[in-house]
Structure 1
């Protein structure tokens, strides 16, 4: 490999190193251990912004309305119980405001509580869904059910799969409202709102749905966040095929919308769409029926530190003596690929894009699909990652073969290249011209060895994205101490590399960076051995950088997800084997042991067998 080729590889590696430093300096914080499900009295004076009625076609603006929230202890509740969900809804406003996920726990600890998704007003991080009707012409706000209307349970006892419930409220002036709520075996609620008009006049009103999320923390401005730069957390929506991702900070920076009297961004949906909030692994989404026009909005109440997403459907006109109804859906659960894909197949437009695939979506999507199917076949995510590595290396093998053949030919040309250097002396232009002629004559491409390295970079980051973002990797076990491939290696010299029952250093701490686990050590060794397939560079500075690089990477990657380190170890091992066998088949046997010895002696070798 000539100096130009080595410089390109060195520049690529150093660029990669800079990005790795960023990952180490700004790692994702540990998830908070939130209590499972506690009953706390709601605070009074709660503000909920409910939409004003809009025209039948335009889905126009809305205005905030202040309503007093009924204290939690004063409102009866209806239990929610399915194979995957548990919680309850409040008859005050018919709010779905207590929901936990039975299949997921906060941590791997045996006594860990299940993950809580929604929580009522008054809790530390209130997060809930509510529905209602915005009054049209001729109606007052008190004529329609609002966010604090006390409903009655008309039908059903517990909301579960195949056991819907119906709430009813009579306004006392001839209008009777009902809300039927059902839930499937996963995370999708179906909400049907209806109104019976027993008055002598025609009435109009617009059905709406709201997701409200309160800020927490010292400044009470943001919900609990991972706050990692490769992960989107905040508002997510689909508007007729266009995906919108808005961070909470950006929602706070919205201008005051003229029709909202609040900081808001409004989206006019002509046919298909949805909007909601997304976290690392969980999501809530308001989903009107496919083919429905509606207005979607993202809002921020600066006074009370409340984020909202809402959908407002066109105004329904209900003649005297008749009734009307509208059905929408609410997703509240885990962002499981198979589950979300099924909902997409049922008509939720591009719902799979609610998973944060990132800029390299054209790589992350097929990589995850392949990894998921391997896991379905093998039943172990760790071995599936190794299987994925084998498949990726097989796909890239034609490029790797050309690269290693070219490298072997360049080794054979080493004596002629040395002769050219001696003949050219200090005339670098003459030397470069001579080398170009030699490469052309022998049909050698000196840059071909860099292509597999360059292709590995987007694949590496795409796999990192998949491992970090997808819930299928969350707490996914491999074997022994490696019970969460989305977390850093839990082993360390401090717990004798997992042989002792106590935990190693806290992930992300300085101690964890210094006292690394067995996987980062294997990574460093595999990179070091891969280097020894080639003699050390003749340039002293390059030789020093190349010598330190495996060990620097070893410590830096120690804080990465262990699944990613498993991939890199497997990739290095396969690359070493491929390169050794291919170069040997071309008549050049890499002197691995000789290069190791020369490395210790600090005297670069130039030959092979």
Structure 2
């Protein structure tokens, strides 16, 4: 039994070590970018936009743009959005997600995703053209061009709107904007050439974000910043890293990363929200991430190939814009039915994606059937325990056999005395003769590590858990248990400590306490180890975990409680079926007597 306990302690210490090491091991490694190599690759195809940062792409901000809030606007009304489009630059710069609120309070403000220039945290999408041959730079629409509303008065899923701009030189530029019933806008940019000579121009879409988001988490388990897919390769770059890619800060005010791809997308992702430019798949385009230090401005661009418009002809290029919540169903639909390759990877599944993806898919379908995310987590726990039951069964059978060998191990200890080598050899022979694996007891615990991290990731990053209630006082499974010892769990008229405060880490809620009790009861399936150090570790372990996990999402704590209860039941039943009879109440009484005798001994020593 001592070896079994040592292995259990080793597994627990390893679990804690992994939790600590996670902060440094989990963030994805940034891919090195060689601008010279990328520039050479870009210039191989003359139809692609130049990768030279100095080339006139007409996508750099002007020094003093007119605030878009002052320009005429077109209303947006869908089941997901409310907002407006500014005719300055055709910007989508006013977008609220009507089905999401900032907090769980009924009167909380709705989430505003995009904001116009002039407001703190301005953030918008704009589409335009860059001049190349046969047309002046001033004769193409840019981010600050004021468009005219040609058709439509309100953008809805059934009524697109068309913006137009006549440059007075024989070309008319139009942008037809459509939106579906979820989060995808479609921009059809066209040029009508009414002159007798051909012209060339290239379309682009851009996202501009003034400064970092106010609610930036800066948490190791979550990626926030630029996200880009390039021919099947995902790239995630945080805001701090975007500013580090300047080739020569003395000569350039922006930092860039360039990629030329035929399939992909680029944008910015927050905890639960995202904006993404999606050019036509299968057509080469340049995706660029920039940072303008003088104005603290982040910019993502998708610049398409040069379009040559013959006299009397019209050319149209279509680009999509995702702007909204990172809902699994919607993003999966855009990937599978909309042809946006790898779009589901825009949700930050982490290194254990091979576990987090199927775990969330199963949780999502359970929630559809059950209708409550808390009960779905409990159902998921049961399913996961059934899946790992064969391994757990072998482990618990081995533990039962070791319990049967306990009398013989005690005799061996008396026989070998202080000869540790002889004791070790005798134990190995005893295990071999009885077909017992002393390390088998660690396997279920070790298996729980990746499952625990994967579920932690799922609960933390997926919007489906955000503000999801369970029962009673649990109104948000993605947040810690709001009940507290300080007000006797709501019985006293005192407010609970603010989440994140030092006091909140101590004044834990009901679920963390239940977690500690469930771990403590699970320990009592076996007698306490004889070694005093092991006794102390085992005695403190449940309560250390109780406080350590008290600030975790309540959905994760709920999973851990259910897992402990099921594990206790499985182990008890399997051990009894193999002759071992766990004396839970007897072990509890024995541990209490030991504590009482220890306390009496300490008092005598003090006297």
TM-score normalised by length of structure 1: 0.90
**Paired residue for 2:245?**
254
Moved more, 460-469 or 491-500: 491-500
Q: Does 1:88 align with 2:122?
A: no
**Per-residue deviation, 1:496:** 3.1
Q: Deviations over 1:297-317 (max 9, x none)?
A: 111111111111110111001
Which deviations, in whole Å up to 9, do the C-alpha atoms of 1:416-466 show, x marking residues without a partner? 111112222222111111111111110111111111110001100100000
For residue 131 of structure 2, the aligned residue among 119, 135, 140 is 135
Asked if residue 103 in structure 1 is aligned to residue 99 in structure 2, the reply is yes
Find the partner of 1:57 among 39, 44, 47: 47
Aligned to 2:151: 155
Counterpart check, 1:542 vs 2:541: no
Aligned 1:565-584 pairs, distance under 5 A:
565-584=557-576
Say yes or no: does 1:465 pair with 2:465. no
Q: Per the alignment, in what secondary structure is the counterpart of residue 400 of structure 2?
A: helix
Residues 267-323 of structure 1, C-alpha deviations (whole Å, 9 max, x = no match): 110x21000000000000000112111010111111111111110111001112211
Q: What is the aligned counterpart of 2:141 among 139, 145, 157?
A: 145
TM-score scaled by length of structure 2: 0.91
Alpha-carbon spacing, 1:21–1:265, altered in 2? closer, same or farther (3 Å): closer
The answer as to whether partners of 2:226 and 2:289 remain within 8 angstroms in 1 is: yes
Match of 1:226 in 2: 217
Secondary structure of 2:486's aligned partner:
helix
Structure 2 match to 1:11: 10
Cα distance, 1:473 vs structure 2: 0.2
CA drift at 1:262? 3.0
Contact in 2 for aligned 1:53/1:206 (Cα 8 Å):
no
- Give the whole-Å Cα distance in 1 for the aligned partners of 2:238 and 2:204: 23
Unaligned runs of 5+ in 2: 24-41, 597-607
**Structure 2 residue aligned with 1:323:** 314
Q: What are the superposed Cα offsets for residues 36-85 of structure 1, whole Å, 9 maximum, x if unpaired?
A: xxxxxxxxxxxxxxxx9996534431546442411345311111111110
Query: Hey, what's the Cα distance between the residues in 1 that align with 2:460 and 2:422?
Result: 51
Any residues of structure 2 matched to 1:50-449 within 5 Å, and which? 56-61=46-51, 62=53, 63=55, 65-67=60-62, 68-215=64-211, 224-256=215-247, 262-269=254-261, 271-345=262-336, 346-449=338-441
Query: Are the counterparts in 2 of residues 535 and 595 from structure 1 also a CA contact under 8 Å?
Result: yes
- Corresponding position of 2:2: 2
In the other structure, the counterpart of 1:45 is: none
Question: Per-residue deviation at 1:591?
Answer: 1.1
Q: Secondary structure at the match of 1:11?
A: helix
Between the aligned partners of 1:100 and 1:298, the Cα distance in structure 2 is: 25
1:21 to 1:517, Cα distance in 2 relative to 1, 3 A: farther
1:559 maps to 2:551: yes
8 Å Cα contact 1:20-1:556 kept in structure 2: no
Alpha-carbon distance in 2 for matches of 1:544, 1:336: 46
Aligned-pair CA distance for 1:186: 0.5
2:489 is the alignment partner of 1:490: no
Distance 2:475 2:584 in 1: 35
Match of 2:591 among 596, 599, 603: 599
**Distance in 2 (alpha carbons) for counterparts of 1:97 and 1:356:** 25
Match of 2:36 in 1: none
Contact 2:11 2:446 in 1 (8 A): yes
State the alpha-carbon separation in 2 of the partners of residues 327 and 53 from structure 1: 24
Q: 1:73 and 1:212, CA in 2 relative to 1: closer, same or farther beyond 3 A?
A: closer
Cα 1:502/1:272, change in 2 over 3 Å: farther
Structure 1 CA distance, aligned partners of 2:239 and 2:343? 21
Aligned partners of 1:447 and 1:301: how far apart in 2?
57
1:256 partner SS: coil
Residue 11 of structure 1: how far off its partner (Å): 2.5
State the alpha-carbon separation in 1 of the partners of residues 109 and 44 from structure 2: 43
Deviation (angstroms), 1:6: 2.4
How far did residue 22 of structure 1 move?
Answer: 8.3
Between stretches 71-80 and 480-489, larger displacement belongs to 71-80
**SS at the partner of 1:558?**
coil
Whole-angstrom CA distance in 1 between matches of 2:427 and 2:49 = 70
Give the Cα separation in 1 of the matches to 2:50 and 2:515: 57
Shift of 1:134: 0.7
Would you say the 8 A contact 2:150–2:163 is kept in 1?
yes
**Aligned-pair distance for 1:380?**
0.6
Partner Cα separation in structure 2 for residue 603 and residue 72 of structure 1: 72
Measure the CA separation in 2 of the matches of 1:552 and 1:210: 49
Superposed displacement of residue 17, structure 1: 3.2
Inter-partner Cα distance in structure 2 for 1:119 and 1:399: 53
* Maintained 8 Å contact 1:335/1:355: yes
Shift of 1:18: 4.7
> What is the CA distance between 1:7 and its match in structure 2?
2.5
Residue matched to 1:456:
448
Kept in 1: contact 2:48–2:306 (CA 8 A): no
Change (3 A) 1:512 1:122: same
Preserved contact between residue 401 and residue 582 of structure 1 (Cα < 8 Å): yes
Aligned pairs, number = 571
Are the counterparts in 2 of residues 54 and 206 from structure 1 also a CA contact under 8 Å?
A: no
Does the residue aligned with 2:504 lie in a helix, a strand or coil? helix
Q: Deviations over 1:87-142 (max 9, x none)?
A: 11111111110101011000011210100000011111011000110110232220
- Unaligned residue ranges in structure 1 (runs of 5+): 25-51, 217-221, 605-609
Contact 2:481 2:510 in 1 (8 A): yes
Please give the alpha-carbon distance, in whole angstroms, between the structure 1 residues aligned to 2:71 and 2:43.
27
Measure, in 2, the Cα distance between the counterparts of 1:449 and 1:494.
38
Distance 2:230 2:60 in 1: 26
Post-superposition shift, 1:363? 0.6
Distance in structure 1 (CA, Å) of the matches to 2:85 and 2:305:
26
